[in-house]
Amino acid sequence: MREIKKILIANRGEIACRIMWTCKEMGIKTVAVHSEADREALHVRFADEAICIGPAPSAESYLNIPAIISAAEITNADAVHPGYGFLAESATFAKICEDCNIKFIGPRPDVIAMMGDKVEARRTMTAAGVPILPGSPDPIDSADEAKKLALEIGFPLIIKAAAGGGGRGMRIVREESELAGNLELAQTEALNAFKNGAVYIERYIERPRHIEIQVLADEHGNVIHLGERECTIQRRHQKLLEEAPSPAISKELREEMGAVAVKACREIGYSSAGTFEFLLDEDDSFYFMEMNTRIQVEHPVTEMVTLADIVRNQIYVATGINTDYQQSDVQITGHSIECRINAEDPVKFTPSPGRITAFNIPGGPGVRVDTAAYPGYLVPPYYDSMIAKLIVHARTRELAIARMQRALEMMVVEGIKTTIPLHRKIMADENFQKGNFSTKFMEEFEYEI
Ligand code: MV4
């Protein structure tokens, strides 16, 4: 057992505040780190201590490992919570924390590194009995090799970067004549974007749903899943809204996907919270895509339907306790939806930083708002544009949509453009309301604002 009395939160914005909520409820002291642009940020105001770690650009502050480690040492923090983004999936950072005797709140560095390599993740998951799409067992080196595999897999297929994830550096190939050219382009793009040109190929599913399973695992082999999240509605690989449970998943399919994820966690010695991303085909077959080794933006919908506090569980696991997690303790109740409110033009999706002149957070039953914004807050241009997550919970999906509609109506953000009007259009859409959508939803969605 390692007692955790003080946590340094190596993040900013809503997730830094969210982590702080739980620390305060657990009687754990908090240390905020911030850039020069974030002096007026809410995570700085509510932390017990705050340390400036560098100038506005992330590369010099929130990604500055020596500055963050120094801040943890100066403040005597027992542990670091990385949140999502920034250093959350850096095996290097996790290892340095470990070497400095600061507990990294997340899985082991070798597990983070393994899942960061998508080719290795596919191999590991196959060995653990997780279904994957037919594709290459190793990175593709030549056009000849690609052609041979393509004949086995068939078209369309997709080329993905081994170091990628989240949709960056993917190319769809619909016929043989496009294969060699796209392979070359994908390799070059991957090399430029990730300093690693390795790519692999997979059969391409045309109209999938994106379903993810939340898992919790401790360091003693206790593993449970908290059901799925429906993450299909996205634009350019940025999720717009998420829900739990998925309107496309039966109790049987949930149990099947959950059991697969739990078994895989046991086999790889996973610990902490984690997420298995799957593609779900129209015939209910599901295939592993990636594993995220961090807490995710959309974790609140799972918290709403399970009553679990995922951050609290990450902290318990990090202390080394035997949690005695039992799957039978997990019950899914009602329905939850999260809308990501971004400081963006709702049609062009261009960033809209600036001063928030008026701000109203909706309340009432079944409404949760995760945000670090406040009236008068200046949204800086340097970071992610998400300024709030509006989350609702109700007994049924239909009631949750109605609740989201009234909450969106009462959520006021003036002075900057936001995606609130887009969410109102989606909530009113017949296909959305029927649960009838695929990853192509936004491409096919016509709206005027
Ligand atoms: C796919 C796919 C279809 N078939 N892989 C996008 C994010 C990245 N993690 C992988 N992605 C996809 N991989 C195969 N074999 C379709 C997508 C995809 C997608 C996936 C989830 C959510 C939205 C998406 C939008 C376009 C493409």
Same domain, yes or no: 191 and 305: no
81 with 187, same domain? no
Is residue 90 located within the same domain as residue 226? no
The pLDDT of residue 166 is 73
Can you give the CATH number for the domain in which 187 is found?
3.30.1490.20
* DSSP-assigned letter for residue 215: E
CB 219 less than 6 A from any atom of ligand 1: no
Residue 113 lies in a domain: no
Number of folded domains in the chain? 3
Whether residue 334 is found in the same domain as residue 354: yes
Q: Are residues 143 and 163 in the same domain?
A: yes
CA of 277 to the centre of ligand 1 (A): 10
Work out the burial of residue 365: count CB atoms within 10 Å of its CB; fewer than 13 is exposed, 13-18 middle, 19 or more buried.
Answer: exposed
Evaluate whether residue 122 is within a structural domain: no
We report the CATH number of the domain holding residue 85 as 3.40.50.20
- Residue 417 falls inside a structural domain: yes
For the record, the structure tokens of 50 come out as 């705050």
Residue type for position 408: L
Asked if 176 and 147 count as a contact pair (C-beta separation under 8 A), the reply is yes
- C-alpha span between 79 and 194 (Å, rounded): 29
CB 218 near ligand 1, within 6 Å: no
On the question of a cis peptide bond just before residue 421, with omega within 30 degrees of 0, the verdict is: no
- Name the active-site residue from 294, 340, 368, 424: 294
Question: What is residue 165's predicted lDDT score, i.e. its pLDDT?
Answer: 77
Contacts of 191 (CB under 8 A, 6+ apart): 197
Mean pLDDT for back-to-back runs of 10 residues, the chain (449 residues): 96 99 98 98 98 98 99 98 98 98 98 97 97 97 96 97 84 97 95 94 98 98 98 97 98 98 98 98 97 98 99 98 98 99 97 98 98 98 98 99 99 98 98 98 96
Q: Three-state DSSP class for 289?
A: strand
Q: Is 237 in the pocket of ligand 1 (CB under 6 A)?
A: yes
Q: Separation of 156 CA from ligand 1 center, angstroms?
A: 13
Q: Can you tell me the distance from the alpha carbon of 257 to that of 279, in angstroms, rounded to the nearest whole number? A: 11
Domain, as residue range, for 35: 6-105
Q: How many residues does the chain have?
A: 449
In contact, 22 and 309? CB cutoff 8 Å: yes
How far apart are the CA of 204 and the centre of ligand 1, in A? 8
Buried b (16+ CB within 10 A) or exposed e, 76-94: ebbbbbbbbbbbbbbbebb
> 354 and 215, same structural domain?
yes
For residue 294, indicate whether it is catalytic: yes
Phi-psi label, residue 223: left if phi above 0, alpha if psi -120 to 50, beta otherwise:
beta
What local confidence, expressed as pLDDT, does residue 198 receive? 96
> Do 318 and 103 contact (CB within 8 A), yes or no?
yes
What pLDDT sits at residue 99? Answer: 98
- The Å distance, Cα 120 to ligand 1 centre, comes to 18
Going by the DSSP 8-state scheme, the letter that residue 344 receives in this structure is: B
Is residue 270 domain-resident? yes
Look at ligand 1, atom 11, and give the residue with the nearest C-alpha. Answer: 167
Q: Of the candidates 86, 105, 124, which is a domain's last residue?
A: 105
* Boundary (domain end) residue, out of 203, 226, 245: 203
In this structure, the residue with its CA closest to atom 27 of ligand 1 is 439
- Return the residue whose CA atom lies nearest to atom 7 of ligand 1: 167
- Based on the fold, state whether residues 138 and 222 are members of the same structural domain: no
Q: Give, using CA atoms, the residue closest to atom 26 of ligand 1.
A: 439
CA 167–ligand 1 middle distance (angstroms): 6
Residue 121 counted as domain residue? no
N- to C-terminal Cα distance for the chain?
55
Instruction: Using the mean position of ligand 1's atoms as its centre, give its distance from the Cα of residue 296 in Å.
Output: 18
Tell whether 24 is covered by a domain.
yes
87 and 187 housed in the same domain: no
Phi–psi pair at 114, nearest 5 degrees? -60, -45
Atom 20 of ligand 1, nearest CA residue? 210
Q: With respect to residue 185, please indicate whether it lies within any of the assigned structural domains.
A: yes
Nearest atom, ligand 1, residue 203 CA: 15
Residue nearest to atom 12 of ligand 1 (CA): 167
What CATH number does the domain containing 231 carry?
3.30.470.20
Q: Are residues 173 and 238 part of one domain?
A: no
**Domain assignment of residue 114, yes or no:** no
Whether residues 298 and 336 share a domain: the answer is yes
- Quote the CA–CA distance of 334 and 277 in Å, as a whole number: 22
289 lines ligand 1 (CB under 6 A): yes
Which domain-ending residue is among 148, 176, 203?
203
Q: Answer whether 134 contacts ligand 1 (Cβ < 6 A).
A: no
Residues 355 and 289 placed together within one structural domain of the fold: yes
* pLDDT at 325 (0 to 100): 95
Query: Which atom of ligand 1 has the smallest separation from the CA of 133?
Result: 15
Q: Are residues 310 and 195 part of one domain?
A: no
Task: Please tell me if the CB atom of residue 158 comes closer than 6 angstroms to any atom of ligand 1.
Answer: yes
